[in-house]
Amino acid sequence: MKNIDTLLHARWIIPVEGNDHCLANHSIAIHDERILDILPSDKAREIYQAQTEVDYAQHALIPGLINAHTHAAMSLFRGLADDLALMDWLNNHIWPAENQWVNEDFVQLGTELACAEMLRSGTTCFNDMYFFPDIAARVASKAGMRASIGLIALDFPTIWARDADEYIDKGLIVHDVYRGNELISTTFAPHAPYTISDEPLQKIRMLADELDLPVHMHIHETAHEVDEAVMKMGQRPLQRLADLGLIFPNLVAVHMTQLLAEEIDQLAAAGSHIVHCPKSNLKLASGFCPVQRLLNAGINVALGTDSAASNNDLDMFSEMKTAALLAKGVSGDATAVPAHQALTMATLNGAKALGIDDKTGSLSIGKYADLIAVDFSSIESTPVYDPISHLVYCCGREQVSDVWITGQHIMKNRSIITLDTDRIKQAANEFSTKLK
């Protein structure tokens, strides 16, 4: 028998690559942080002797979910200013609160809170955009969580930087510190077309080519954003970005609720990526991303929660279900975004958008062992005809029992090993008393 680190047996294994492919009574062999083998359980027991062996007899093992758009530290603003329009919410509530409260300690605690919530929701990787990206990277790394850390850029001063040049310079330092880290990658993260000017965007485009990094940006989030850009600059934001060379394969465009047919064709031809945030868009009445039309055009569409301040959770199971249902309603087609597509959007498509699909996003031999166990044994999940459909339309984050990242058992029986959740809850509740 061959000695390995870990052997996980499961009622079902859903690799994701292969779309609706589901393996019954299979096992995953893990060694040196990566998936070594996926094979029938009876054969696995004959071939492998593992240091750690777990039998998930009533579970599905799936790739860890990838939250492709977050502002993690904003978890401390959860529910602060609900039921408002986006620009009112931002200008009159969120940005003033950030000016008053955001500092290194805020980002440390808020990111810890977000990581704990995401791990308990089955998310093993998140793509962040916020101030103090160095702190967010440190928290994620300590938690044993995979993260793509946004190197935020704006024109105006904040506690993190004075101007666009300083944002970019400080971001490059973060990139250099984490270069080669197996858990932490980086993206350029200019906030939005209306908060950053042409010159820094041109610099970011040049650096993105040089360093081969994604450019993660809110774009066409609302009709107001588009209309204001046309009024002020005489063109839609996407056309401006195209003129700057930013409609390119490394673009990760978030929200995209306002799209013309020719813009969809342009994005498809460029090989750009889109992150759909259905619950945040619904709550802020931002509009509807035409997901099925994007998929039909061959565009890679991932899923994100946005922040807990606008959602109000970081629950990717809820995003999958909402994305699938909303696509059907928007398109008038009950076959739009079927369950396997929604699961792919929440896993492999996110990895593709972030340029890490060689490492994670599916259960494939040679990739890191980033996976979660979902318990199907409850009365609410009985009976099971199609495990993939169940994951999207029936299961909730509370059914995630275990989380493995790079082969490490990060959450066991819903208890996170790497974070002190009692301390985090107490500190978050103490912070909230300051805002009441």
Residue 11 is part of a domain; what is its CATH number? 2.30.40.10
427: region left, alpha or beta (phi > 0 left; psi from -120 to 50 alpha): alpha
Residue 421 near residue 410 (C-beta atoms within 8 A): no
In tens, the pLDDT along 287-340 reads: 999 999 999 999 999 999 999 999 999 999 999 999 999 999 999 999 999 999
Residue 426 domain flag: no
Q: Which amino acid appears at position 240 of this protein? A: R
3-state secondary structure at position 123: strand
Q: What gap in Å lies between CA 198 and CA 194, rounded to an integer? A: 10
The continuous run of DSSP H or E covering 4 comes out as: strand 2-13
Residue 40 domain flag: yes
Say yes or no: 337 and 386 in one domain: no
Q: What gap in Å lies between CA 227 and CA 225, rounded to an integer? A: 6
Q: Which amino acid appears at position 191 of this protein? A: H
- Residue carrying the six token digits 């047919």: 261
Say yes or no: 82 and 47 in one domain: no
Q: What gap in Å lies between CA 129 and CA 107, rounded to an integer? A: 11
Question: In the numeric block, which tokens belong to residue 95?
Answer: 């940005």
Say yes or no: 198 and 55 in one domain: no
DSSP 47-81: HEEEEEEEEEEEEEEEEPEEEEEE-GGGGGGTTSS
Residue 431 domain flag: no
Say yes or no: 128 and 11 in one domain: no
The pTM assigned to this predicted structure is 0.98
Burial class of residue 61 in the structure, from the number of CB atoms within 10 Å of its CB (0-12 exposed, 13-18 middle, 19+ buried): buried
Half-sphere exposure at residue 227, Cβ-oriented, CA atoms within 13 angstroms: 3
**What is the pLDDT, as a whole number, of residue 20?**
62
Say yes or no: 373 and 402 in one domain: yes
Residue 295 domain flag: yes
Q: What gap in Å lies between CA 49 and CA 90, rounded to an integer? A: 55
Question: In the numeric block, which tokens belong to residue 358?
Answer: 């060689």
Q: What gap in Å lies between CA 147 and CA 248, rounded to an integer? A: 23
**What is the pLDDT, as a whole number, of residue 293?**
98
Residue 427 domain flag: no
Question: In the numeric block, which tokens belong to residue 371?
Answer: 């996976």
Residue 342 near residue 321 (C-beta atoms within 8 A): yes
Which residues have C-beta within 8 Å of that of residue 166, sequence separation ≥ 6?
none
* Number of separate domains in the chain: 2
Give the residue among 77, 106, 75 at the shortest CA–CA distance from 90: 77
Say yes or no: 150 and 181 in one domain: yes
Residue 172 domain flag: yes
Say yes or no: 70 and 55 in one domain: no
Residue 363 domain flag: no
Say yes or no: 282 and 300 in one domain: yes
Of 325, 353, 381, which residue constitutes the final position of a domain?
Answer: 353
Question: Which CATH number do you get for residue 123?
Answer: 3.20.20.140
Phi/psi of residue 328, each to 5°?
-70, -45
Say yes or no: 195 and 86 in one domain: yes
Q: Give the domain extent around 412.
A: 2-63+368-416
Sheet with 215-219: list strands edge to edge.
65-70, 123-128, 146-153, 184-190, 215-219, 251-255, 273-276, 300-303
Residue 47 domain flag: yes
Residue 4 near residue 29 (C-beta atoms within 8 A): yes
Question: In the numeric block, which tokens belong to residue 281?
Answer: 């868009």
pLDDT in tens, the chain (436 residues): 899 999 999 999 999 987 668 999 999 999 999 999 999 999 999 999 999 999 999 999 999 999 999 999 999 999 999 998 888 988 999 989 999 999 999 999 999 999 999 999 999 999 999 999 999 999 999 999 999 999 999 999 999 999 999 999 999 999 999 999 999 999 999 999 999 999 999 999 999 999 999 999 999 999 999 999 999 999 999 999 999 999 999 999 999 999 999 999 999 999 999 999 999 999 999 999 999 999 999 999 999 999 999 999 999 999 999 999 999 999 999 999 999 999 999 999 999 999 999 999 999 999 999 999 999 999 999 999 999 999 999 999 999 999 999 999 999 999 999 999 999 999 999 999 988 6
3-state secondary structure at position 229: helix
CB atoms < 10 A from the CB of 46, how many?
10
The continuous run of DSSP H or E covering 282 comes out as: helix 278-283
Say yes or no: 70 and 194 in one domain: yes
3-state secondary structure at position 435: helix
Say yes or no: 334 and 377 in one domain: no
Say yes or no: 346 and 377 in one domain: no
In tens, the pLDDT along 91-126 reads: 999 989 999 999 999 999 999 999 999 999 999 999
Of 353, 387, 402, which residue constitutes the final position of a domain?
Answer: 353
Q: What gap in Å lies between CA 88 and CA 85, rounded to an integer? A: 5
